[in-house]
Amino acid sequence: MSYMISQKGGYDKVGFTSKDLHNHISKTRHGQVKDDDAFTALAYLLCKEDSDPLFLGKFTLKDGKLDNLVWTDRAIVVDYEYFGDVLAFDTTYKKNVYNKPLVIFSGTNHHGQTTIFGCALLSDEKSKTFKWALKEFLKIMSDKLSGGNMTNRDPL
């Protein structure tokens, strides 16, 4: 931006502000899914599984494309074993580049701090998709059920 300002001879001659430039770049990048994003994520998960036997990722494909993804790692599995008495299941919707629900499985440790037990990137907010994510999460955690689950009780 400073290069353009010096070339044009001042802010007033450029025709836009740096905020306009950042907004344009963000808008251009937002929502663009590159074809190899999903394959890169899966390759990363498979490499992590090779180096960490407790790193697990489960996914589904639809029409040859990544549909749903759940993952966790060694530290998370251990934390869930110790602190998984209560499981909070929270989603953020359309807050990421792909406009997909991101699920955070979390709880609280013995210091009262939030502990992440796992994450999922899902295709939609349908009941069957959430059930799939929870079932896969439980498989990863050796089917250990928590003592209680918390949601925001939104109707599906």
- In-domain check, residue 47: yes
* pTM score: 0.63
For residue 138, tell me if it sits in a domain: yes
User: Is there a domain that residue 15 lies in?
Assistant: yes
Q: Residue 62, exposed/middle/buried by CB under 10 A (0-12, 13-18, 19+)? A: exposed
Count of domains in the chain? Answer: 2
What digits encode the pLDDT tens for the residues 97-134? Answer: 667 888 899 888 889 899 889 889 888 888 899 999 99
Mean pLDDT of 1-18: 70
Residue 156 lies in a domain: no
Residue 148: strand pairing partners: 86
Is residue 13 one of the residues assigned to a domain?
yes
Whole-angstrom Cα distance, residue 42 to residue 47? 9
Q: What is the pLDDT of residues 25-67, one digit of tens each?
A: 666 555 444 556 677 777 777 777 777 766 777 888 888 777 8
Query: What's the domain range around 25?
Result: 1-30
